[in-house]
Structure 1
Amino acid sequence: MKIRPIIIYPFLIAFYPVIFAYAENIKGLILPEVSLPLSVSFFLTLMLFLLAKIVFRDWYKAGIAAAIIIIVIENYILGFDFVRKTVLDQFIKGKHKFGFLVVTTGLLIFLYFLRKSKQRFRLSASILNVFSVILISLPVVQIAVYEISNKSPTINAVTLPKLEKNGHPQTGELPDIYYFILDRYGQNKTISSNYGYDNSVFIKSLEKKGFHIVSDSWSNYTTSALSLASSLNMSYLDNLAQNPGINSADEKILLKLIENNLVVKFLKSMGYKYIHVGSWWNATAKNKYADRNIKGALALSELSQVIYSRTIFYPITVKLKVPLLDGRYAQFIRIPSQFSEIANIPKMKEPTFIFAHFLIPHPPYVFDKDGNFITEEEENKRSERDNYIGQLEYANKKILELVNTLLTSAKDNKPIIVIQGDEGPYPGEYLKNSLKYDWKKAGDDIIQQKMGILNAIYFPDSRYESFSPVTSPVNSFRIVFNTWFNQKLELLPDISFLSNVGKPYDFVKKIERNQK
C-alpha cells in the first residue's frame, strides 16, 4: 500500500513572503506582528485549495493549482516591477491592465492544461513538499540566528535621570502638555539654503502666539528611533554602544524605550492621562501604556502593508482608494483626522499629556500645500523640492490652526506645547547611496541639513531663560520638568551623534554644540 503524501506545500509557499518580509525587516519588529498576515495567508490558501478541489476533483491537482494562484497573488508586483526593467515592458507599457491581462491569460492556460492532464501528480506533491520546507526554512533559520545573536537589552541599559515623585507644579492646576513631532522638519536655515524656501512666516506666526524658537537646534541623532528614544527619556544612548554593541543592527531596545518612556511614566505618576497619537511607523503606531490611542485611520501595520503592497490586489485598492489597504491614502485620511481629534482634547477634565508623531513632511508625499491628495504617480513627476515644500506648507497650516485652537480653548490654564522635528531631511548626496553612506566623511553643509531641526516651545508664562540657541531635544523635558514641576535635573551638553545605516549604535561622529 502506497502512502499518500500530505499536501502542505501550498500553505508553506503562501507563508514564505510573510516570513521573508519579517526576516528582511527584523531589526525593528517583534514576532507577534506576523500573526495577522500569516492568518490571512492561511485562510486564503485554504479557500483556494478547497475551491480547486471542487473544480479539479483531485487533491494533487488542487494543490498545484492553489500554489500557482498563491504565487501569482502574493508576488505580482515583484514580477511586474521586474518586467518593467526588461524589453518586455514595451508590451505592457508600465500599465497594470496589461499586466493583469498577461497574468490572467497565462494562469487560465496553465489551469486548463492542468485539468486536462491525465497525470496524478502524487510524486510532484512529495517533491514540492520537500522544496517548500527547504524554501521556508531559509528565512526561519535567518530569524533564529538573528534572535539568538541579537538578544535585546532591557531599558535599564540606558542611564535615566531620577525624578522627584513629589514634585508639584508651580501653578495651582496641572497644565495639559502637548509634544508634537513633525518628522524630518528641518531648521529654517536648511529649508532656505537647500530648498530655496522662506519659512519665516510660519516661524514668526508661532512667535506672535508666544512660542520660543530655538533658532539653531540640532537633533541628537540621525534617525527617528534613536531621536525619540533619547528625547522621551531625556537621556543620551551612549551605553547602547556596549550593549547591544556597535555592530548590532537590532532596534528593539529603542522601541522599548519609546513605548515605556520616562516622560510618560513621570507624568502619569503626577496624575496625567496619556493620549498617544500614532503614525504608520510600527514604533509609534500605538502605545500599550496610553490611556487612549488615536489612530486616525484604520490601516494595516507597517509589516502587513509591505507584504500587501507586493500582491496583485494592491494596484486595485490604490485605484479605489481603500484606506485599510492603501497605506498612502490611509496617511491622507490619518493626518487631518488626528489634528481634528487633538483639537477636542482641551475639553477633557483631567490633565493630559499628548504625544503625537506626524510623519510629515516625511515621505510619502501625499499632500500638496492646500491639503489635496497626491497620487504616487503625481509624486514621482514632481521634484523632491516641490514635494517636500508642499507637504511642509500643509504641515505649517495644520499646526497653526491647531495651536490657535489649543490656546484659545484654554482660558485660565494654558497648555505647554513642544513642537519638534526628530531629524532633518536627508540630503540628496545621502539618498544616492544610503546603504553605504559614511557620515564620518560628510561635510558641514550635509550635516547641517540632516541634523538641523524645528524646535518651538510654548510656556504659558514665557519662562524661557533655560533655553539656549542650540538647546536640543534631549534637554526639552528636563527644562519642562525643572520649570513647571520643581525638578532639579542637570541640563546635558547639547551633542549630536551620527551613525550609519545598519549600525545605529556605532556613533562615527560626535558633534558638541556650544551653549551660548
Structure 2
Amino acid sequence: MKTVLSRQPWFVLLLPLFFVFHGFAGNFHYLSIIDVLSLAGMYMGASVLVYLIIRLPLRNNIRAGLFAVFLMAFFFFFGFLFDTLKAYAPYRWMYKYSVLLSAFLVIAIILFIYLLRTKREFGNTAFYLNLLLIFYLLFDMGAILYKGIFDPNANEKITASGAARIPEGKPKPDIYLLLFDEYAGDLSLRQWMNYDNSANSNFLRSRGFFVAKAPFSNYKYTVFSMASMLNMDFISWYIENKKPSREDLVNCGTLVKHSEVTKFLAANGYEIVNNSIFDIDKYPAHINQRFLPVNTRLISEETLIYRLSVDFEWWLRKQPVLKKLLPVETREDEMMNIERAIDFTMKEPSRESGRPKFVYSHFMVPHLPNFFDCTGKRLSYEQSRFSSFLKGHYDQYLNNLQFANNLIRKLVTNIQQQTGNRAVIIVMSDHGLRKPWHPSQPCLENNNMNAIFLPGQQYDGWTDSTTNVNQFRILFNTLFDQQYKLLPDSCIKMGHE
C-alpha cells in the first residue's frame, strides 16, 4: 500500500473531494448529494487541469502534484485563513488581501523554483499526504452516513409544533405572506427621518386590515427573524448580544427550510408556494442560478474566488467578462429576482389550485440598494449607487419605501379582487431599519410593519405591539382553533455583524 500511495499524487484528487465532503458533512441537511457531486466534479476537474499545466515545466508527477495541491489548498481554504486571521491576528494589516495575496505569490514563486531545481522524489511526502486525506475523507464519509441513517434530524434545531390537525369543517382560506425586507415602522421613520408614512397604514385600514401601531420584530437580522417567525418560537440556542456567526446563519436557514408553519400547513392539505429568498423543504426558491446550485455556496463561499467576488463586487460588476465568469450577483440578477417575485405573486391569485395555498413572497425592498424608482421603473447604475446612512443620506431608502408602498397597494388590491376578499393577507417586514445604529435605542431597529387581513376581520388576538414570533400562533388560533400560548413580545439584543 505504501508503494501505491508514495508513487502517485492522488492527493490532487483527494484534496477537492475532502474539501467538498467536509462541507457536506457540516451542512448535511441543507445540501443534496446531487449538488455536492456536481461541485466535487467541478473542483476535481479544475485541480487536474492545474496539475497538468504545472506538469509541463516540472516534468515530475509528485513535484507537480505538490505544487498543484499548494495552489489549490490556498484556493479552497482562503476563507478559513482570512476569518482566522481576522478573529485572532494582533494587527489588521495581517489579513488584508494585499498582504495575503502578496505573501502567497512570494511563497509560490520560491516553492516553484525549488521544485524545478531539486532532484528529490518526495515519496514519503506523497505517502503521508495521500494517507492523511484518505483518513479525513473516510471520517467525513462516516459522519455523513451517520447523519443520513442514524440521526436524520442532525443540525435541525427545530422545536416540536404540537399542532393538531385543523378540525373538520373549518374553512381553509388561502394565506398570503407578503414580506418586505427591512421595512421600517412608523415610529422609527418619524424619529430618524422625520417622515410620515401614515398614508400606507391608512390604505391598509381602508382595505379592512388590522394595522399594529407599534410592532417590533424579535430579531434584527432577516434569517433570524424569519426562522423565529416561521417556527413560532424564539431561537433557543442563540446567545443574546452575540455577534451572529456563519454557523448561526446556516442553522437559521435550516430552520426556515424545515419550518413548523409550512409543515403544519402542508400536513393539513395546503399547497406551499415559495416566492421567497429561502429554500423551503420540497419547495425551492425561484432564484436565478448560474454555474452552481445556490445551496453549494455553503461550501464554495470559503474559496478564494468567492471571497474576492463578494468583497470586490463593486469593481467586478463593472467588468463584463469577469462578472460572467465569477460568481458575482449582478444588478440585473437582483432586479430580476425582485421583478420575478412580483410577477409570480401577481399571477398567483388567478391560478387555479385544487387545494388551499400558502404563498410566501419575500421582496428585497425597501432594503437597499435601490434598483427602481417609486413607480417600479429600473434605475441606472449611477442612480442606484448606495449612499452611506452614516452620512444621513436617507433619500434612497425613502425612494425604496415609496416603491414598496406602491407595490403593497398593487398586490393587496389584486389579491382581494381576484379572491373576492376570501384570502388571508399578511403584510409585514422581517425587521426595521438597522442603520444608523442607536445604542440608546437598540429595539428601535426592530420597529417594523405588521398588518393582517382576515376575511371575517376577527382581530381580537392581535395588539398594537404584537411581534413576529406570535404572528402565526395568533393566526392559527384564530383560523383553526389551535391552542398556542403566546410568547413574550420581546426584542432579542444582537451583536453587530
TM-score between the two structures when normalised by the length of structure 1: 0.67
Q: Is contact 2:164-2:482 (8 Å) kept?
A: no
| CA offset digits 1:308-339 (Å, max 9, x no partner) | 42258986963335498223543332121121
- Cα distance change, pair 119–236 in 1 and its aligned pair in 2 (3 A): closer
Give SS of 2:430's match: coil
Give SS of 2:307's match: coil
Task: Give 1:339's match in structure 2, choosing from 334, 339, 342.
Answer: 342
- Cα distance change, pair 297–61 in 1 and its aligned pair in 2 (3 A): same
- Cα distance change, pair 241–180 in 1 and its aligned pair in 2 (3 A): same
Q: Is contact 1:14-1:42 (8 Å) kept?
A: yes
| CA offset digits 1:354-391 (Å, max 9, x no partner) | 1123344446x363545436589943667575454444
Map 1:274-423 to 2 at 5 A: 274-279=272-277, 284=278, 286-290=279-283, 293-299=284-290, 300-301=294-295, 302-303=297-298, 304-305=300-301, 307=303, 308-310=305-307, 318=317, 319-320=319-320, 321-322=323-324, 325-329=327-331, 330-350=333-353, 351-362=356-367, 365=369, 367=371, 369=373, 371-372=378-379, 378-379=385-386, 383=391, 385-386=393-394, 388-410=397-419, 412=420, 414-423=422-431
Please name the residue that 2:196 is paired with.
Answer: 198
Residue 469 of structure 1, CA deviation: 1.2
Residue 35 of structure 1, CA deviation: 5.2
Provide the C-alpha distance between the structure 1 equivalents of 2:184 and 2:137, rounded to a whole number of angstroms: 38
Provide the C-alpha distance between the structure 1 equivalents of 2:495 and 2:106, rounded to a whole number of angstroms: 41
Residue 229 of structure 1, CA deviation: 3.6
Provide the C-alpha distance between the structure 1 equivalents of 2:108 and 2:233, rounded to a whole number of angstroms: 60
Task: Give 2:483's match in structure 1, choosing from 479, 486, 489.
Answer: 489
Q: Is contact 1:276-1:355 (8 Å) kept?
A: yes
Percentage of pairs with the same residue: 20
- Cα distance change, pair 262–159 in 1 and its aligned pair in 2 (3 A): closer
Residue 403 of structure 1, CA deviation: 2.6
Q: Is contact 1:298-1:324 (8 Å) kept?
A: no
Please name the residue that 2:207 is paired with.
Answer: 209
Q: Is contact 1:28-1:250 (8 Å) kept?
A: no
Provide the C-alpha distance between the structure 1 equivalents of 2:465 and 2:199, rounded to a whole number of angstroms: 21
- Cα distance change, pair 298–494 in 1 and its aligned pair in 2 (3 A): same
- Cα distance change, pair 155–63 in 1 and its aligned pair in 2 (3 A): closer
Q: Is contact 1:9-1:129 (8 Å) kept?
A: no
Q: Is contact 1:277-1:355 (8 Å) kept?
A: yes
Provide the C-alpha distance between the structure 1 equivalents of 2:231 and 2:415, rounded to a whole number of angstroms: 25
> Structure 1: any 5+ residue segments left out of the alignment?
243-247, 431-441, 503-516
Q: Is contact 2:227-2:259 (8 Å) kept?
A: yes
Map 1:88-127 to 2 at 5 A: 117-123=116-122, 126-127=124-125
Residue 45 of structure 1, CA deviation: 0.5
Q: For structure 1, which segment, 48-57 or 310-319, has the greater mean C-alpha deviation from structure 2 after superposition?
A: 310-319
Residue 427 of structure 1, CA deviation: 5.0
- The one-letter code of the counterpart of 1:402 is L
Residue 499 of structure 1, CA deviation: 4.8
Residue 492 of structure 1, CA deviation: 1.6
Map 1:89-238 to 2 at 5 A: 117-123=116-122, 126-127=124-125, 130=128, 157-158=159-160, 160-169=162-171, 174-236=172-234
Provide the C-alpha distance between the structure 2 equivalents of 1:214 and 1:467, rounded to a whole number of angstroms: 8
Residue 168 of structure 1, CA deviation: 1.2
Provide the C-alpha distance between the structure 2 equivalents of 1:356 and 1:428, rounded to a whole number of angstroms: 27
Give SS of 1:335's match: helix
| CA offset digits 1:110-136 (Å, max 9, x no partner) | 899689x4534522x754775798799
Q: Is contact 1:184-1:424 (8 Å) kept?
A: yes
Please name the residue that 1:66 is paired with.
Answer: 68
| CA offset digits 1:410-438 (Å, max 9, x no partner) | 3x3542111222222335447xxxxxxxx
Q: Is contact 2:466-2:489 (8 Å) kept?
A: no
Task: Give 2:9's match in structure 1, choosing from 7, 21, 26.
Answer: 7
Provide the C-alpha distance between the structure 2 equivalents of 1:396 and 1:309, rounded to a whole number of angstroms: 35
Give SS of 1:398's match: helix
- The one-letter code of the counterpart of 2:118 is Q
| CA offset digits 1:17-68 (Å, max 9, x no partner) | 7689889x97996696765544422221112223443565432353255346
Please name the residue that 1:506 is paired with.
Answer: none
> Structure 2: any 5+ residue segments left out of the alignment?
87-91, 240-244
Provide the C-alpha distance between the structure 2 equivalents of 1:422 and 1:210, rounded to a whole number of angstroms: 22
Residue 252 of structure 1, CA deviation: 7.0
Please name the residue that 2:261 is paired with.
Answer: 263
Please name the residue that 2:89 is paired with.
Answer: none
Please name the residue that 1:426 is paired with.
Answer: 434
Q: Is contact 1:19-1:136 (8 Å) kept?
A: no
How many residues are matched? 452
- Cα distance change, pair 413–373 in 1 and its aligned pair in 2 (3 A): same
Q: For structure 1, which segment, 66-75 or 268-277, has the greater mean C-alpha deviation from structure 2 after superposition?
A: 66-75
Provide the C-alpha distance between the structure 2 equivalents of 1:9 and 1:193, rounded to a whole number of angstroms: 60
Measured on the aligned residues, the alpha-carbon RMSD in Å equals: 5.2
Q: Is contact 1:470-1:494 (8 Å) kept?
A: no
- The one-letter code of the counterpart of 2:379 is N
- The one-letter code of the counterpart of 2:371 is F
Please name the residue that 1:435 is paired with.
Answer: none
Provide the C-alpha distance between the structure 1 equivalents of 2:16 and 2:483, rounded to a whole number of angstroms: 54
Q: Is contact 1:220-1:494 (8 Å) kept?
A: no
Provide the C-alpha distance between the structure 1 equivalents of 2:399 and 2:135, rounded to a whole number of angstroms: 46
Q: Is contact 1:19-1:140 (8 Å) kept?
A: no
Give SS of 1:456's match: strand
Please name the residue that 1:43 is paired with.
Answer: 45
Give SS of 1:344's match: helix
- Cα distance change, pair 423–26 in 1 and its aligned pair in 2 (3 A): farther
Q: Does 1:452 align with 2:454?
A: no
Q: For structure 1, which segment, 385-394 or 335-344, has the greater mean C-alpha deviation from structure 2 after superposition?
A: 385-394
